[in-house]
Structure 1
Amino acid sequence: MPRLPAPTPEELRRDPLPLRGRTALVTGASRRGGIGCAVARRLAAYGAAVYLHHHVPHDEAMPWGADRPEDVADAVRAARGAPDTLVAHGPADLSAPDAPARLIDDAARALGGRLDILIANHALSGSDGTLDTIDAAMLDAHWAVDARSVVLLVQAFARHRPAGPGGRIVMMTSGQDIADGMPGELAYALQKGALASVTRSLATALAERGIMVNTVNPGPVDTDYLDGDTYDAIAGLFPAGRWGMPDDPARLISWLATDEAAWITGQVVDSEGGFRRTGG
């Protein structure tokens, strides 16, 4: 097999719109202060057309609340690298078994019939506990949203996208395998751990189709869910003395979607800013 030639000087120059002409679905983008919105803003700034998935009832039930979907979309539109870059949005309750495939269809249709990038950022918050308090309902709820729906999204994405270079999937985990783990959120940790474990298998399964699969652990990120003394104590565990902000993991995730990351697949990447976890 012939060797690839060294890149030309023109190829080495950074394209300010490296995702121009590509399309992306970002799940879990219900809040302007969340990671999903930050990732979508980066993708749009790089030239990608973006479809934002939201499930407003979930965030409305949380202490932080939900934003209007159109307000989130407007925040993404404000970051567009080109004024005609399409930004669309739509709802889906991904706990339903058929919802992932329908979401892929909806996103592709809204973006002109093609999807190149899948960022599976959504997760179920709350409804969890310790080993003594978890029950079957908690485990099943987190399994349906945090793991099953992600694998079904990957399946539908792979079936939809024609084989060829440029396919990208990024899943999200939570560092549940680092230091002391997450003993207070066992249902969540179990399902997120499943995604980390299946990353390499999915990458191998999809490599021949030109789809790179990676998973990112964003570490503790300030998405407006915590304040006070606990917030300050956690900030002190970072060498920089501050929490991660949504754009910190968004920079990594959006880079993984570009051609600069075309040789990276099957990896679980920690983006934690040197966070010092207890026990490690």
Structure 2
Amino acid sequence: MKLSGPLNGRVALVTGVSRRAGIGFALASDLLAAGASVMVHSWSPHDAEQPWGADPGGDASIIGSLGGEGPHLRHITADFADPEAPDRVVNATLDAFGAVDILVANHARSSHQSLSELTAAELDLTWAVNARASVLLAQAYAAAHDDTRPGGRIILFTSGQHLAPMSAELPYAISKGAIHQMTLSLSDALIDRGITVNAVNPGPVDTGWADPELTAHVGRSLPAGRWGHPEEVARLVRWLAGDDSGWITGQVINSEGGFRRWVM
């Protein structure tokens, strides 16, 4: 049964919904519960290359756990290394639901490369997936958005690289830094149309990727003694996607639970 809520009648596109343990899954689930119709994007081959691996149930289990495809939920796979993929994903949302009100660009590529390890190819690929695709998604969204509809929202994701170094993740940190810097300029480009643009730095979030040693170490730097939960990120995104956040734009919001990076 479709739930009604503060986003009833709105249409959202959420990228990076590739693992049930991930932030993207929590975002899609929360937006659906708030009443939105949601197009979820995934690209599981990236997760399959990572130490944490792809979702064991595959895309079918992810979509099934969200309630299955139907009038209010659709799914598309796309590799954002392809410069045409952002436009294709946005247009698929428009075709499925007749509108697109909310864009949540949550996808990310990680490569774990330090200065001595990084390559030009990985720099180019990570920038293309993380930063270029976010801009092209915003461009395609702006072209598709009906300004007579309320609640135009773009929500980007950065990663705290502006608050502390990430020397073991240079391609990722550099590309996320670009997202941080694009937020204000994209906001200025769209605010006259009533579309807000903000970015979220969710801080350390437990999505199952960290080993026990890193989990314990980072946990000591958080006042609550634990990492954030995907559902906590989703609640912030739901607020940014709703009407109550309409006066907020061009901001990078650090939602880190008091993360003390200086604690060793």
Provide the TM-score with structure 2 as the length reference: 0.93
Distance across 2 between alignment mates of 1:248 and 1:276: 18
Partner of residue 130 from structure 1, selected from 86, 92, 114: 114
Secondary structure at 2:229 match in 1: coil
Residues 182-216 of structure 1 show CA distances to partners (whole Å, capped at 9, x for unaligned) of 11111111111111111111001001111110000
Q: Are positions 1:233 and 2:214 aligned together? A: no
Query: What's the offset of the Cα at 1:169?
Result: 0.5
Alpha-carbon contact 1:218-1:272 (below 8 Å) kept: yes
Query: What's the offset of the Cα at 1:90?
Result: 1.1
Q: Percent identity?
A: 50
Q: How does 1:52-201 map to 2 (within 5 A)?
A: 52-67=40-55, 68-77=58-67, 86-110=72-96, 112-126=97-111, 128-164=112-148, 165-179=150-164, 181-201=165-185
Query: What's the offset of the Cα at 1:131?
Result: 2.2
Query: What's the offset of the Cα at 1:135?
Result: 2.1
Distance across 1 between alignment mates of 2:15 and 2:95: 16
Question: What residue number does 1:265 align with?
Answer: 249
Question: What residue number does 1:8 align with?
Answer: none
Amino acid at match of 1:260: D
In terms of mean alpha carbon deviation, does 54-63 or 64-73 score higher?
Answer: 64-73
Question: What residue number does 1:203 align with?
Answer: 187
Query: Alignment RMSD, CA only?
Result: 1.8
Q: For this pair of structures, how many residues does the alignment match?
A: 258
In terms of mean alpha carbon deviation, does 206-215 or 229-238 score higher?
Answer: 229-238
Distance across 2 between alignment mates of 1:209 and 1:279: 44
Distance across 2 between alignment mates of 1:189 and 1:23: 30
Amino acid at match of 2:24: G
Alpha-carbon contact 2:110-2:169 (below 8 Å) kept: no
Amino acid at match of 2:50: M
Alpha-carbon contact 1:41-1:77 (below 8 Å) kept: no
Alpha-carbon contact 1:175-1:217 (below 8 Å) kept: yes
Amino acid at match of 2:12: A
Residues 108-151 of structure 1 show CA distances to partners (whole Å, capped at 9, x for unaligned) of 212x221100000001122x422232221111011110100110
Q: Which runs of 5+ in 1 are unaligned?
A: 1-15, 79-83
Secondary structure at 1:51 match in 2: strand
Question: What residue number does 1:43 align with?
Answer: 31
Query: What's the offset of the Cα at 1:53?
Result: 0.2
Alpha-carbon contact 1:44-1:77 (below 8 Å) kept: no
Distance across 2 between alignment mates of 1:130 and 1:90: 33
Alpha-carbon contact 2:221-2:263 (below 8 Å) kept: no
Distance across 1 between alignment mates of 2:119 and 2:156: 26
